[in-house]
Chain A
Amino acid sequence: MLRFALLRILSAIPTLCLVVVLAFLMVHAAPGGPFDDERVLPPENARNLAAAYHLDESLPRQFARYVSGLLKGDLGPSYHYRDHSVSELIGAAFPLSLQLGLLSMAVALAVGVSAGVLAALRRNTISDRLITGMAMTGISVPVFVVAPLFVLVFAVELRWLPASWSGDASGRRFLLPVVALALPQIAYITRLTRASMVETLSSDYVRTARAQGLSLFSIVRFHALKPALLPVVSYLGPAIAAVLTGAVVVEIVFGVPGLGQLFVRSALNRDYTLVLGVVVFYAALIVILNLTVDLLYGFLDPRTRNP
């Protein structure tokens, strides 16, 4: 297990390095500098500005400076929000996004697994068809369609809930964003759970358990659920990446001042250091979470430890 864990951790490092190099090169290969606005700066000021942000140095030296800052957790200054560093801005915005993401994943797992098990137990009945049909719809309809429709229906038309984040200070403001973010994941998890539960229920040991007279509930609860959930565990990695991407949309639509909103604003402002910093941060987050999921999977299923 230790060997497996070490190998897995080591293999995550090249991916992270690749992201940093690619992202850095993309930003620095961009035509035009970060200060090329409509107003033309006098050459004197432009030179000073370039020197202050080390833009007059060669590319390898700038990269070395960036990486050494990165290792200390310093992602450089923001070009747009001049008084703040990128690390400060990310640190201020991330907790809210984390809350949103964790809540949605919890909702998605609870609802998705229950619906999947239910559909598997009632295979080929109307409730199964209904659940699989809804899951297919949930997979197909993107977050940036669901989220605005939620606002339109529940906030604008019915006026049950506030349309924007700042319009309400209570926990109710989490409701629409969390559900909108969770819906596609609920759909995927339902499909996965249903498929693997159907397979598990047709296995020999479940038949034996039934023959011994165990109730369906105790078979599912004590024998079938754990092995049936393995595919769901391995889906958690992609799910986390999808939730991070979806959070970008949800935060824009509901006006949540989280990391996703910061990211899109900085992208539209062409705040290069901030965009670069957020991409590196997202990449590190995704790689680390994927690693955690893999280790968890190895812990749960010993067969995968020695590939």
Chain B
Amino acid sequence: MRALATAVALRQVTGGAAVRVSAGILIVITIAALLGPSLSSHDYFSMNLAERFEPPTLENARFFGTDDLGRDLFVRTMSGTRVTLLVAIVASFVSLVLGVAYGAVAGYAGGKVDAFMMRIVDALYALPFIFLVILLMVAFERNFLLIFVAIGAINWLDMARIVRGQTLSLKEREFVAAARLIGVPPVVIVFRHIVPNLLGVVVVYITLTIPQAILVESFLSFLGLGIQEPQTSLGALVNGGVSQMERAPWLLLIPATLLAVMLMSFNFLGDGLRDALDPRLKAR
């Protein structure tokens, strides 16, 4: 089923121009973020007060100019993109592990266990997570690990619901019944037989989770509560650009545009993949 779903998805998806363009943009941005900093002769933290506020130019490889401390904006933007992508991918992975495990167990257990587990999810849905995350950032030292866990914890609820729904229908299938008949323990059935069959759906939802994680990370960094100096991320760069926009608008425009383009590409890609996998969801 997974192979078929993937094949259908691939064929339908590659037909959509928006999806292909988005995927292309994301690949280019990822490669630039990975390689950009090491190709430039500048680094992301060295200050140079003699070269503050230099507008973008090809001279001396100042493609994006310099900021208020004379740091190279091209390298800072690329390493900021790297941090943003890293946080988003790891956080999405956290939500994937939590959501898939929780949803698959609830769906397979069924009955009262399922009802109880889903009630908990409903209760957590009503929590104002973003404010609790801000509280967490205030109370504890802001480190990468905490940001990963906090953002992952926000997004696992949707994943748990989707995975549970899929598990409910998968567990009625013959191969699961066969496994049960020959005495395979429930834990093994869930993780060896059901979870691998969920991956098609999960991959699609991950492409929709990543932009949400990017959004949360940038939001926190924008408020000065996320990634801390001298490390940077796109949200932190936008924040820095806001305070300098009258003097050096490129400090705001470049990171803001890049962030918007990335989010848009992820959303188009995720939407396209979802429509290809399950046309019934198209309208939503």
Chain A interfacial positions (CB closer than 8 Å to B): 12, 14-15, 18-19, 22-23, 26-27, 29-31, 136-137, 139-142, 144-145, 148-149, 151-152, 156, 195-196, 198-199, 241, 244-245, 248-249, 252-253, 263-264, 267-268, 270, 272, 275-276, 278-279, 282-283, 286-287, 290
Contact = CB atoms under 8 A, between A and B. Distances in A.
Contacts of B132: 19, 22-23, 26, 279
Nearest to A29: B139
B219 A144 contact: yes
Given A18-B127, A144-B222, A148-B238, A275 B135 contact: yes
B215 interface: yes
Given A195-B283, A267-B137, A140 B252 contact: no
B126 interface: yes
B218 to A, nearest CB: 7
Contact of A140 (B223, B242, B267): B267
Given A145-B259, A275-B134, 17 more contacts: A22-B132, A26-B135, A26-B136, A136-B268, A140-B263, A142-B215, A142-B260, A144-B222, A144-B239, A148-B242, A241-B128, A249-B223, A252-B223, A267-B137, A268-B225, A283-B128, A290-B126
A198 B219 CA distance: 34
Given A149-B256, A152-B252, A156-B245, A15 B263 contact: no
Contacts of B266: 140
B263 A152 contact: no
Contacts of A252: 223
B247 to A, nearest CB: 10
B249 interface: yes
Given A142-B263, A148-B241, A283-B131, A30 B256 contact: no
Contact of A30 (B131, B134, B140, B211): B140
A245 B256 contact: no
B284 A270 contact: no
A27 B263 contact: no
Interface centre among B134, B136, B267 (most CB of A within 10 A): B134
Contact of B130 (A141, A245, A253, A270): A245
Contacts of B222: 144, 249
19 contacts: A15-B126, A19-B128, A19-B132, A30-B138, A136-B271, A140-B260, A142-B218, A142-B219, A142-B259, A145-B238, A148-B252, A149-B252, A152-B245, A245-B219, A268-B224, A268-B225, A275-B138, A278-B131, A283-B128
A185 to B, nearest CB: 15
A279 B128 CA distance: 8
Contacts of A241: 128
Nearest to B139: A30
Contacts of B141: 31
A279 B135 contact: yes
B264 interface: yes
Nearest to A269: B138
